[in-house]
């Protein structure tokens, strides 16, 4: 790990805030926005904590062994013995995130007041230590006040509770989904005919170039939850039964599907087909559907300012189309040579069209099955090592069929949640990566060479 990297240490503080063992902190952080909390951490001013009040830190010791270690530290006078106690503590409670400093180095930095401040959370007027126990213990041994940053529940409630942020969208959609009431197509009642017969005169379907900032990239918010369920429960299902699982479409195939789409995107630096979007009058943005996986890949990895889209102006939203499809055969002619599939769903007082290009059912089922097997086999054969708590964050657990032949090391210089998602998806492509000049580095090594 690179030393004296404030960006990385702030990210570690953020990581530890959302992965606390203590039930009070764990419950409190459930509905905090992670990126907002990072900003609060970064902007909180440094202060000092009177070391004589160490007993006021509610979660300084969480086990009987920790209490015994604290007692020994308080009574210890010899530096060499103090180091032995700290190392004993590290062996009892291994670090989930390696910081790159030895116990002796931390002690020297603490002596010189040249260390990253310890992070405290003030919750209900009680102090909880979030990160920096070793630094805290060094101050206790040296009998000197601790450099701290104390983030308060008052500020976090004001700025970072989910219901105060745009991230409430993901909850709001639970009560008011964007895509609902699908209408079954019959031989007599074709969706494209229904759409053109019943749409308002002011409603149009056509080609539109849309700015990135006007697109509603909402699905990335769901990836950590889906990733956790996939890694915890569904990464090792037999190929002959996986597609029959009731959660196959909603959970099991999603991460492998995104990984497969990411492989395609990285080859071309784009997708071959345009996005299909419709105007969302609630959020005043263009909603992407179909295209869960593609919108996640574009949101995370693409930096274009505008996108060519097949767009529908729900309710007659006023916009200038670059090309309008006034009849269904005009849509087919524009995409001649590609398989066009057309469906509608009822929402926002309109029949919303969804256009799929080259997405035949058999072809897509083969694509999903192939990527599930490739992802499963990659995880069987590769042990993942990271500089963040990968197992806790993803829910990853080793299974009996794992037979590691290589290690895959993920190193992030910025541990934001978005970067962790990027790194995990990039790792699952099976490629070694140096992304954005070292923002994310992924390297492979044979187990036998370790």
State the pLDDT at residue 167. 38
State the pLDDT at residue 89. 87
State the pLDDT at residue 371. 95
State the pLDDT at residue 336. 94
State the pLDDT at residue 397. 85
The distance between the two most distant Cα atoms of the chain, rounded to a whole number of Å, is 88
User: Cα–Cα distance between 41 and 14 in angstroms, integer?
Assistant: 7
User: Cα–Cα distance between 284 and 166 in angstroms, integer?
Assistant: 13
As beta bridge partners, residue 345 has: 182, 352
Q: What is the helix, strand, coil percentage profile of the chain, to 5?
A: 45, 20, 30
415 contacts 8 by C-beta, under 8 angstroms = yes
Q: Where are the alpha helices (DSSP H) in 269-346?
A: 292-301, 328-334
The reported pTM is 0.65
Tokens of 45: 């001013």
175 contacts 331 by C-beta, under 8 angstroms = no
- For residue 55, the surrounding DSSP H or E stretch is none
User: Cα–Cα distance between 218 and 295 in angstroms, integer?
Assistant: 8
- The per-residue pLDDT string of the chain (450 residues; one tens digit each, 9 = 90 and over) reads 345 567 778 888 888 898 888 889 988 988 788 878 888 999 999 999 999 999 999 999 878 888 999 999 999 999 999 999 999 888 777 665 556 788 999 999 999 999 999 999 999 999 999 999 999 999 999 999 999 999 999 999 888 876 443 333 343 333 444 444 456 777 778 899 989 999 999 999 999 999 999 999 988 988 999 999 999 999 999 888 898 888 898 899 999 999 999 999 999 888 989 999 999 998 899 999 888 999 999 999 999 999 999 999 999 999 999 999 999 999 999 999 999 999 998 888 899 999 999 888 888 999 999 999 999 999 999 999 999 989 889 988 888 999 999 999 999 999 989 999 999 999 999 999 999 999 999 999 998 754
Could you tell me which CATH number the domain at 176-362 has? 3.90.1530.10
State the pLDDT at residue 11. 81
Phi, psi of 288 (to 5 degrees): -95, 120
State the pLDDT at residue 174. 39
111 contacts 142 by C-beta, under 8 angstroms = yes
Domain spans of the chain?
6-164, 176-362, 379-449
State the pLDDT at residue 348. 85
User: Cα–Cα distance between 226 and 238 in angstroms, integer?
Assistant: 19
Task: Look at the block and give the residue holding tokens 């190193």.
Answer: 411
Among 258, 286, 287, smallest CA distance to 271 is for 258
Tokens of 351: 């029949």
- For residue 209, the surrounding DSSP H or E stretch is strand 205-211
Terminal Cα distance for the chain, rounded: 19
Chain centre distance of CA 182: 29
User: Cα–Cα distance between 298 and 353 in angstroms, integer?
Assistant: 22
User: Cα–Cα distance between 16 and 132 in angstroms, integer?
Assistant: 10
């Amino acid at each position: 790990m690179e030393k004296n990297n404030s960006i990385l240490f702030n990210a570690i503080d953020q990581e530890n805030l959302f992965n606390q063992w203590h039930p009070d902190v764990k419950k409190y952080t459930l509905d905090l926005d992670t990126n907002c909390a990072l900003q609060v951490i970064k902007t909180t001013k440094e202060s000092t904590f009177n070391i004589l009040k160490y007993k006021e830190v509610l979660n300084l010791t969480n086990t009987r062994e920790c209490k015994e270690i604290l007692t020994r530290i308080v009574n210890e006078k010899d530096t060499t013995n103090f180091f032995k106690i700290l190392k004993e503590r590290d062996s009892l409670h291994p670090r989930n995130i390696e910081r790159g400093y030895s116990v002796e180095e931390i002690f020297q930095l603490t002596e010189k007041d040249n260390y990253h401040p310890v992070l405290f959370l003030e919750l209900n007027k009680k102090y909880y230590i979030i990160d920096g126990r070793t630094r805290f213990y060094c101050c206790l041994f040296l009998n000197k006040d601790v450099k701290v940053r104390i983030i308060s529940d008052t500020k976090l409630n004001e700025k970072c509770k989910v219901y105060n942020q745009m991230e409430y969208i993901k909850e709001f959609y639970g009560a008011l989904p964007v895509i609902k009431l699908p209408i079954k197509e019959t031989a007599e009642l074709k969706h494209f005919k229904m759409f053109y017969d019943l749409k308002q005169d002011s409603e149009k379907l056509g080609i539109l170039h849309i700015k990135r900032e006007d697109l509603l990239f909402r699905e990335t918010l769901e990836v950590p939850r889906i990733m956790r369920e996939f890694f915890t429960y569904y990464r090792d299902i037999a190929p002959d039964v996986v597609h029959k699982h009731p959660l196959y479409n909603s959970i099991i195939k999603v991460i492998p599907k995104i990984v497969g789409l990411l492989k395609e995107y990285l080859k071309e630096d784009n997708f071959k087909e345009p996005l299909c979007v419709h105007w969302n009058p609630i959020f005043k943005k263009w909603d992407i559907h179909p295209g869960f996986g593609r919108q996640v890949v574009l949101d995370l990895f693409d930096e274009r300012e505008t996108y060519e889209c097949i767009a529908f102006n729900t309710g007659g939203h006023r916009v200038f189309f670059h090309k309008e499809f006034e009849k269904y055969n005009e849509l087919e002619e524009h995409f001649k040579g590609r398989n066009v599939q057309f469906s509608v769903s009822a929402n926002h007082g309109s029949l919303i069209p969804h256009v799929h290009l080259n997405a035949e059912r058999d072809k897509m089922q083969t694509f999903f099955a192939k990527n599930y097997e490739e992802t499963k086999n990659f995880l069987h054969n590769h042990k993942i090592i990271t500089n963040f708590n990968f197992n806790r964050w993803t829910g990853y657990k080793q299974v009996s069929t794992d037979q590691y032949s290589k290690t895959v090391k993920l190193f992030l210089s910025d541990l934001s949640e978005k970067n962790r998602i990027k790194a995990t998806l990039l790792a699952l492509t099976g490629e070694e990566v140096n992304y954005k000049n070292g923002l994310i580095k992924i390297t492979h090594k044979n187990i036998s060479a370790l």
